[in-house]
A and B are shown apart, each in its own frame.
Chain A
Amino acid sequence: MQEHKYTMASECFHRGQIDRAIDLLRELLAEEPNSADCHGLLAGCLLEKKRLYAAEYELAIALNLEPQNALFYVLQARINLLRNKTKSALESCDEALQLEPEYLDAHLLKSDVYLVFNKYDEAKACIDIAANLQPGSVTVAHYYGEYFFAKGDIKTAEKYAVDSLSIDPQDEAANILMGKIKLRQGNLKEAEYHATFVIIQNPDSNSALRLFCDIKMRRNIILGGWWRFNAWMASLSNVQSSVVLISGYLVFMLAAQIFEDFEYLTVSSLISFAWIGLVIYSWVGIPMYYKRLRKELERFSFNPEF
């Protein structure tokens, strides 16, 4: 029964039904609090949801229960990288590789870390190892692409992007890379195509949404700003958006108070109105944004004669 539940949770996780997976794992942990696998998978789920602190907490428990699990160290490295603790991230990768020298993800993650502080040669060395471990993999081809893209060699990056797409045309990361390359080359239409292609498949993909907003920014900086603002608002959870609204309230009130003290009454009342405007916008703006987004996602359009 327990095992079955765990399998189900892990299946949900791989299919992207993260919330369901989290629920299942929490149920499981209530019955069996000392299962390292459960804590580890839960950390993975929380990481997907970008709840880094919670993920770190679960992972610490998992590592405490089972210190010899390479997967946990890779997760730790990923969390550290997201929190810009590059040095610790590197250490976690090495830890994982010590336990399992042929761990593909660990090598690739290491290259990610190196790329963050522009150590190109080291990054390439890691990808080379990965390429030897698994020739012909989409992920490896995509990492080469990212590497050349970071180095500024767009042409070679494009070659690798095409390579990875020809292995799996539906691969998320490969499509985003291609989109970034097209954006850099100034081919906005193509870039948009790849970004929306990913969003259609996975509406929660943050990197695809970011790319999409970047493209909009390039088209029109104000509209682009609108897209980015909304994407950011939409990505907030309920608690987070309440926090944003309350802190917004405090900032506005403070500003209004200051202007009032200096006798700029009109400005102060404008600011109060702006606050009300923000509250109303947070209510009606997001559905509007989703509606626009859905329209943008109707990617393929026929020409009128068809």
Chain B
Amino acid sequence: MDTNTLTGLKSAFQVAPSDELAKVICFALIESGEESEIALYLQQAQKTLDESESLKLAEALYQAELHETARNVLSEELLSHKILVAKCLNESGEPEQARKLYCSAIEADSSLESHALNRTFNVEVKVAQINNDDKPKLKVVEKMDLASVTDMVRYRQDTSDFSDVVGLEHIKKQISKKIIMPFQRPSLFQKFKKKVGGGVILYGPPGCGKTLLARATAGECKASFFNIEISDVLDMYIGESEQKLHTIFEKARSSTPCVLFFDEIEALAGKREHSRNSSSANVVSQFLTELDGFSQNNEGVLVLASTNVPWAVDAAFLRPGRFDRMFFVPPPDKVARKAILEHHIKGRPAESNIDFSSIASKATGYSGADLYNLVEMAADEAIDESIEAGNEVVISNQHFKNAIKEARSTTTEWLTTARNYARYANEGGRYDEVLSFLKKHGK
């Protein structure tokens, strides 16, 4: 808007002062950067401003350091205004009141909370107790929120639970006993002086559901779930990775109860000779410090990690107090394979008499991902056939028979390597589960 128009508006207002016009002038003033004049029109304009308009106006005033004026536009009662009111109060020398207001805001809507604001208002968030009957909404954050690096927070609405993971009953039971229960009955565990949280590693051949299981675990324990992309932590300038890691843990500690999930952790916690993008020694030691929680309290923070190469993880990470529980996620057995096939065929056009049992028994050593792949291949065949035939051909036994000729199992190689580790480098019984699996199911 040019100055002429603005002057025009102003003189029009002199002649006939209306509320609507005052509002228009206010926004025009923001646009031309003359916020200081707004005060003249504000009183009249205010009558017509709705919630979001007044927030917008106040934000501009706040940016122009007109805190007092901004404060007048806002209403403490409105949830969306609360944080900004608190900020204004903080600026005009009333930190105590600001803090109270901020706390009431995040109590009403915890998604408003951020680490930066916690610091601004000097707020320490206590471990929240979860009530069983009053389940908090699951909040999945794909990436990390950081004080310095913004725009990394993304909320994920779709969530999974154990019903999405087929089979693996044994390990699901273990997880619910040792991980989920402590989250759901914190007081019980506190009474018995048991810690809630800690570190858990899921390991096993690729594609057998470690990532799937970790996500489902988060869904089951109704806690905040932070999925840390290791590349986000590592692809940084020197020294920044450590800082980032620290911020991630700080965030986790301030939003307990929560699950921090590090997928393919060997990249971050790897021995030097194994890691592809060699994480510097500094990152490793920072990670260890955060896990130990000497200076901080890690109560209520569960650190979940997964890896295909547990032997590449630095032994320092596996000491008590760090990742001291390891769960082996084995390849699916015949029954589980059948169930996984059925799970993945759901919702696709298929004949009802497909003999999944015989397909499953032919697919020895297939991982869940291999089976998914098999279903995809069968579907592709059916599609090709449909196009050729000119009408829809549903997936049939024959498609699977053709697909399995080309599919391959990917777990045996892992098991071959793992066997050597389990037999010769089984420190502290780390790979006992692998050994007993091999003994039970190997030839």
Q: Interface of A with B (CB < 8 Å)?
A: 162, 165-167, 169-170, 175, 197, 200, 298-303, 305-306
Given A169-B425, A200-B413; A303-B442 close (CB under 8 Å): yes
Which residues of chain A are near B365, meaning CB under 8 Å? 300, 302
Q: Interface of B with A (CB < 8 Å)?
A: 311, 333-334, 364-365, 412-413, 415-417, 419-421, 423-425, 441-443
- The answer to whether B416 touches A197, judged by C-beta atoms less than 8 angstroms apart, is yes
- The answer to whether A306 touches B333, judged by C-beta atoms less than 8 angstroms apart, is yes
* Nearest-Cβ distance from residue B330 to partner chain A, whole angstroms: 10
Known: A166-B424, A169-B424, A302-B442. 10 other contacts (CB 8 A): A165-B420, A166-B425, A169-B417, A169-B420, A169-B423, A175-B420, A197-B416, A200-B413, A300-B419, A305-B334
> Which residue on chain B has the smallest CB distance to residue A298?
B412
Secondary structure type dominating chain B contacts: helix
* Nearest-Cβ distance from residue B167 to partner chain A, whole angstroms: 13
Please measure, in the bound complex, the distance between the C-alpha atom of A165 and the C-alpha atom of B443, giving whole angstroms. Answer: 23
Which residues of chain B are near A165, meaning CB under 8 Å? 420, 423-425
- The answer to whether A306 touches B420, judged by C-beta atoms less than 8 angstroms apart, is no
Q: Which of B311, B415, B443 contacts A169 (CB 8 A)?
A: B311
Given A165-B425, A166-B425, A306-B334; A300-B442 close (CB under 8 Å): yes
- The answer to whether B334 touches A300, judged by C-beta atoms less than 8 angstroms apart, is no
Which residues of chain A are near B417, meaning CB under 8 Å? 169-170, 197
Please measure, in the bound complex, the distance between the C-alpha atom of A302 and the C-alpha atom of B364, giving whole angstroms. Answer: 7
> Which residue on chain A has the smallest CB distance to residue B424?
A165
* Nearest-Cβ distance from residue A201 to partner chain B, whole angstroms: 9
Which residues of chain A are near B333, meaning CB under 8 Å? 306
Max count, chain A CB within 10 A of own CB: residue among B416, B421, B441, B442: B416
Please measure, in the bound complex, the distance between the C-alpha atom of A277 and the C-alpha atom of B126, giving whole angstroms. Answer: 83
Max count, chain B CB within 10 A of own CB: residue among A162, A200, A302: A302
- The answer to whether A300 touches B412, judged by C-beta atoms less than 8 angstroms apart, is yes
Which residues of chain B are near A167, meaning CB under 8 Å? 425
Please measure, in the bound complex, the distance between the C-alpha atom of A300 and the C-alpha atom of B411, giving whole angstroms. Answer: 9
- The answer to whether B412 touches A299, judged by C-beta atoms less than 8 angstroms apart, is yes
Which residues of chain B are near A170, meaning CB under 8 Å? 417, 420
Which residues of chain A are near B442, meaning CB under 8 Å? 300-303
Q: Which of A162, A175, A298, A306 contacts B441 (CB 8 A)?
A: A306
Which residues of chain B are near A305, meaning CB under 8 Å? 334, 441
Please measure, in the bound complex, the distance between the C-alpha atom of A153 and the C-alpha atom of B169, giving whole angstroms. Answer: 48
> Which residue on chain B has the smallest CB distance to residue A161?
B424
The 7 residue pairs across chains A and B that have the minimum distance between CB atoms: A165-B424, A169-B420, A306-B441, A300-B412, A301-B443, A166-B424, A300-B415
Please measure, in the bound complex, the distance between the C-alpha atom of A125 and the C-alpha atom of B129, giving whole angstroms. Answer: 66
Which residues of chain A are near B443, meaning CB under 8 Å? 301-303
Which residues of chain A are near B419, meaning CB under 8 Å? 300
Please measure, in the bound complex, the distance between the C-alpha atom of A302 and the C-alpha atom of B331, giving whole angstroms. Answer: 11
- The answer to whether B334 touches A197, judged by C-beta atoms less than 8 angstroms apart, is no
Max count, chain B CB within 10 A of own CB: residue among A170, A299, A300, A305: A300
Which residues of chain B are near A200, meaning CB under 8 Å? 413, 416
Please measure, in the bound complex, the distance between the C-alpha atom of A306 and the C-alpha atom of B439, giving whole angstroms. Answer: 12
Which residues of chain A are near B415, meaning CB under 8 Å? 300
Which residues of chain A are near B420, meaning CB under 8 Å? 165, 169-170, 175, 197
- The answer to whether B416 touches A299, judged by C-beta atoms less than 8 angstroms apart, is yes
Which residues of chain B are near A303, meaning CB under 8 Å? 441-443
* Nearest-Cβ distance from residue A194 to partner chain B, whole angstroms: 8
> Which residue on chain A has the smallest CB distance to residue B417?
A170
> Which residue on chain A has the smallest CB distance to residue B411?
A300
Please measure, in the bound complex, the distance between the C-alpha atom of A26 and the C-alpha atom of B300, giving whole angstroms. Answer: 60
* 26 examples of A-B residue contacts, CB within 8 angstroms: A165-B420, A165-B424, A166-B424, A169-B311, A169-B423, A169-B424, A170-B420, A175-B420, A197-B420, A200-B413, A298-B412, A299-B416, A300-B365, A300-B412, A300-B416, A301-B412, A301-B442, A302-B364, A302-B365, A302-B442, A303-B441, A303-B442, A303-B443, A305-B441, A306-B333, A306-B441
> Which residue on chain B has the smallest CB distance to residue A164?
B424
- The answer to whether A302 touches B311, judged by C-beta atoms less than 8 angstroms apart, is no
* Nearest-Cβ distance from residue A200 to partner chain B, whole angstroms: 7
Which residues of chain B are near A197, meaning CB under 8 Å? 416-417, 420
Please measure, in the bound complex, the distance between the C-alpha atom of A170 and the C-alpha atom of B421, giving whole angstroms. Answer: 8
Max count, chain A CB within 10 A of own CB: residue among B413, B420, B442: B420
Which residues of chain B are near A166, meaning CB under 8 Å? 424-425
> Which residue on chain A has the smallest CB distance to residue B365?
A302
* Nearest-Cβ distance from residue A158 to partner chain B, whole angstroms: 12
Please measure, in the bound complex, the distance between the C-alpha atom of A166 and the C-alpha atom of B311, giving whole angstroms. Answer: 11
> Which residue on chain B has the smallest CB distance to residue A178?
B424
Which residues of chain B are near A300, meaning CB under 8 Å? 365, 412-413, 415-416, 419, 442
Please measure, in the bound complex, the distance between the C-alpha atom of A43 and the C-alpha atom of B334, giving whole angstroms. Answer: 53
Please measure, in the bound complex, the distance between the C-alpha atom of A305 and the C-alpha atom of B441, giving whole angstroms. Answer: 8
Please measure, in the bound complex, the distance between the C-alpha atom of A115 and the C-alpha atom of B364, giving whole angstroms. Answer: 46
Which residues of chain B are near A299, meaning CB under 8 Å? 412, 416
Which residues of chain A are near B334, meaning CB under 8 Å? 305-306
Q: Which of B311, B421, B424 contacts A162 (CB 8 A)?
A: B424
- The answer to whether B364 touches A306, judged by C-beta atoms less than 8 angstroms apart, is yes
Which residues of chain B are near A306, meaning CB under 8 Å? 333-334, 364, 441
Please measure, in the bound complex, the distance between the C-alpha atom of A287 and the C-alpha atom of B292, giving whole angstroms. Answer: 56
> Which residue on chain A has the smallest CB distance to residue B419?
A300
> Which residue on chain A has the smallest CB distance to residue B421?
A169
* Nearest-Cβ distance from residue A124 to partner chain B, whole angstroms: 24
Max count, chain B CB within 10 A of own CB: residue among A167, A169, A301: A169
